[in-house]
Each structure stands twice: as structure tokens, then as C-alpha cells.
Amino acid sequence: MSAALPQNPSRRSVLKGIGMAALAAGPLSACAFGSSDTPATGGATGAKSTTNPFGVVANAPLEVVIFKGGLGDAYATEVHEPLYKKAFPQAEIKHVPTQQIAQTLQPRFAGGNVPDMIANSGSDMMDNGALQGEGQLLDLTALYDAPAIGGSGSVRDSLLPGSVEAGFIGGKPYMMKYIYTVYGLWYDSALFAKNSWAPPTTFAEFDTLLGKIKATGIAPYAYAGKNAAYYQYWMIAVTAAQIGGNQVLIDMDNLKEGVWTSDPVRQAAEAWASIGKKYLDPSFEGLTHTEVQTSQNQGKVGFYPSGSWLENEQKEQTPAGFQYALAPTPSVGSSDKLPYGAVRAAAGESYIVPSKAKNSAGGLEYLRIMLSQEGARGFTEKTGIITVVKGAADGLKLSPGTQSSNEALKKAGDNIITYNLFEDWYKEFETDLRSKTNALMFGRSSAEQFCKDVQAKADAIKADSSITKQSRTS
């Protein structure tokens, strides 16, 4: 993971319990995938049952294409494929690892010779929105409605909030999102224990603790203004949601008039501007995320806002004894609509089943196996990453950061904020917001001016139909 915006630009996440506007399918690039007016279900099926809800033909071959990047592919070859083989011993599984998903598969989509399940990820990932627009992706509703393996209820019931909706295109799930990323304030728990510091629950406690950290010569709070200012506007947005509820983020995402000048956003901006004024070193505005993160590993930074990829991203720079831990965003006041402990989390990494696959039923069953307790637990054991399956990582020996993320999710319960905001839709607005966030946090703009300026930009973007019609549907 890097400081680039989150992967999967065709995805639009939703907030807990509330669906958002869906992605408008865009045109394909010059390298087309082929087209069909009516999406096919793909492949032969046999008798359906509770244990075989999609009617997988027992001896039907299954082809699985896995992006072999940072996660490797052992989770497929040593966990999920053996579980599939156990269920269907007569099935021959063809495993195709690659780091060039689009380069490998675009000719096959164009020729109608597609695999049965694809881990569509990496810098060469295919455009899921374009694939769906061409009728090339299978609607995964049946997957989520199917019985969960080894449990009671449906697959949908076994997943963490926002997991199904994260794969929506046009209001239906065409992608299975598998990894669950948790966001918040990251710190070294060993350093904190040594100094008898405890994570703050309120902004008043946050202020007091940062003062104590500063007194030791450590930069108490930092983010990278040069290339990752969005790490900070995430924090402002989450605080606004804690104050005013999830509707604030829905309104941000839909460029609603007046949302940025509303009381919850203004209060959030004021709270974070105060932190910036007192505790941000001006030099951090000119640093990159890796520079600031390495400074934290060296014991020079107290709190750093990021996602749960941070520990893995910094593993080469993290010295022995450094213990990553996650703290939720502090509460502003007792009237906050979301309690302390609410965390932002989001499902990521796309797995898809082509609609014209020879064994699409097998592809669906493969995803159902991935979403089983055994399949998800095995994935975490191989990768150290939490999945969207509730409780699958409980009891495992995890790295400090992953364990902390898992504990934060359990404590949050239903108070999980999951969203992608406007980043995937309005790039011009997002770029401008980075600049305005730096101006706020480094003392060149007041909270009132920040809110006024951001709202003006949102209004201008909304008025530009050439942007909004291409970017979103209502």
C-alpha cells in the first residue's frame, strides 16, 4: 500500500446500513473486452442443495486467476483451492498466478475464453465498471443469499458492515470485497507503556496527552502534507460523522449544498485546526508519507493517522520492540451521535466471477468458500490481513497492528463507519481539498474559512455537469 488513493477506483463504498448512489458504467478503453446485450449466467449446473446452492457440477474443471502481489498466492494454493478440492474431489483446478491481470485477461475476455474466478487487483487491474457495463460480470447476489458454510444464516449475515455494498456497481454486487481495512490514529504501544501514556477518548484528553508528548521532544502528531494530506481530511470527516452521524458523510459524497459549512463539519475542522496549531511541526507539510512513517518508527512521532496497511508497509523500517497499535478518533463532546470507539473501516480487494465463465457456479462456490470461517481464517494466517468475515481472526496469533485492528472492530460493534467519500468521483475536488486541508492544519486558514472555501469548490464541481454526469448517478 502506498500514499496513492485507495485502489479500485470503480468502487463506491456505503455507510453502515445506508446505500449510496451507484457507479455509472463508463465506456471501455480502446482495448475492449467484448460485449453482450444480455449477461449470461455461464456454464452448466447440476442439482442444487443446501450444501451445493449453485448446483456445481462435481467434475467440472475450475480455473482460478490470482493477482500475485503483496498478498502472494499461497492463500489460494494452500487454503481456498484445497477446500474447493475437498468439496469436489473430481474437479481439476487450474491455478494461474500473475501480476499483469489486464494484460493476461483482456484478450481472453475479447475472445470469450474467460476463467471462472479472478482476483482483480494490482496496478494492471481491469476496470470492473467497464466489465460490468459490457455484461461481463456475474451478479453476486446469489452468493450473499446462499447459506454460510459451517454456520447459521446466509453468507451476507456472516460479514462485517459495508462488505457487500462495497462491491456494488449500479446498485448490485458485482465484486466480492475481501480485505477489511481499519483506520484511525496509529502509535507505538511500547513507547506509550514506557511513558504511562494512554490513548485519549476525548479531544480534551487528546490535547493534554499531546502536550505531554511534546514535552519529551517527540513530535506529538504528524501527517505528510506533501503527498498524503487526505490522511488528515479523513480524520476531519470521521470526526464530523461522530458529531453529526453518518448522514454528514452521505451529504459530503453527494455534494449536498451547505454540508461543509454545517455545524458538525465546522466543529470537526475547529477541533483539528486547534491540534494543528499547537502540535504540528511545519516541516511535515513538505514530507512524504514514507518519511513521516519512518520518523515514527524512529520514535520521533507520537500519533499518525492511517489505515491498517501501515504496519506491513513499514515492516522493513520498523525496529524490534516497536509495537503498532490503533486508537479510535477521540470524541469532541458528550452530544456526539456516534460514541467513542466508532472506527472507519472499509472492504477492499476485488474478486469477480465472469458471467460467461464455463463454470460460473464453481466460481461462486469458490467465493463462498473464501467467505467461510475456515477460508477466511486460513487467509489471515497466510497473509496477516483481516477479512470481511466476522470473527474469523479471533484467537489467531496476529501481529501487533493486526491484533489491534481486530480488537478495535470488535469494540466498535455496529459503530463502524465505512465510506470512500468523494475521492473516487471528483478528482479535481479531492486535489483542491488536500491543499485546503494543509492550509487549515498548518495555520494559514481558519476553520470557518476552510469550510466556506471547501463548500464553494463543492458547489462549483456540482454545477459542472460534465463532471457529475460522468462521475455519479443519483
Q: Does one domain contain both 249 and 335?
A: yes
Residue 36 pLDDT class (50, 70, 90 cuts):
very low
Average pLDDT for residues 300-305, to the nearest whole number?
98
Mean of pLDDT values over 415-424: 74
- Please check whether residue 153 lies inside any domain of the structure: yes
Mean pLDDT over the full length of the chain: 88
Q: Is residue 14 part of a domain?
A: no
pLDDT band at 254 (very low <50, low <70, confident <90, very high): confident
Instruction: Tell me what pLDDT residue 396 has.
Output: 93
With respect to residue 203, please indicate whether it lies within any of the assigned structural domains: yes
CB atoms within 10 A of CB 199: 18
**Residue 447 resides in a domain:** yes
Query: Does one domain contain both 247 and 142?
Result: no
- Residues 321, 370, single domain; the answer is no
* 338 and 365, same domain (yes or no): no
424 within a domain of the structure (yes/no) = yes
Same domain for 258 and 207, yes or no, is yes
312 lies in the same domain as 458: yes
Identify the CA nearest to 175 among candidates 15, 25, 367, 6. Answer: 367
Query: Does residue 361 form part of some domain?
Result: yes
Same domain, 341 and 358: no
Query: For residue 18, what are the β-bridge partners?
Result: 15
384 and 336 share one domain: no
Residue 29 clears pLDDT 60, i.e. is over it: no
Contacts of 424 (CB under 8 A, 6+ apart): 5, 6, 9, 10, 11, 12
75 has a pLDDT exceeding 60: yes
Indicate if the pLDDT at residue 193 is higher than 90.
yes
- Give me the number of domains the chain comprises: 2
| % of the chain exceeding 70 in pLDDT | 88
Most confident residue range from 34-48, 395-409, 435-449: 435-449
Range of the domain at 429: 182-345+420-462
Same domain, 341 and 356: no
The CATH number covering residue 259 comes to 3.40.190.10
Residues 138, 243, single domain; the answer is no
Identify whether 7 is part of a domain. Answer: no
Q: Is residue 175 part of a domain?
A: yes
Question: Does one domain contain both 143 and 289?
Answer: no
Any idea which of 73-82, 216-225, 402-411 has the lowest mean pLDDT? 402-411
What are residue 98's DSSP bridge partners? 67
Q: Which of the residue ranges 5-9, 271-275, 311-315 would you say has the lowest mean pLDDT?
A: 5-9
Task: Specify whether 259 is located in the same domain as 193.
Answer: yes
Q: Which residues contact 219 (CB under 8 A, 6 or more apart)?
A: 279, 281, 284, 295, 300, 301, 302
| Cell output for 118 | 479472478
From residue 225, alpha-carbon distances to 8, 144, 269, 344 in Å are 24, 40, 16, 21
Give per-residue pLDDT as tens, 344-376.
Answer: 998 989 999 999 999 999 999 999 999 999 999
Percent of the chain past pLDDT 90, that is, above it, reads: 72
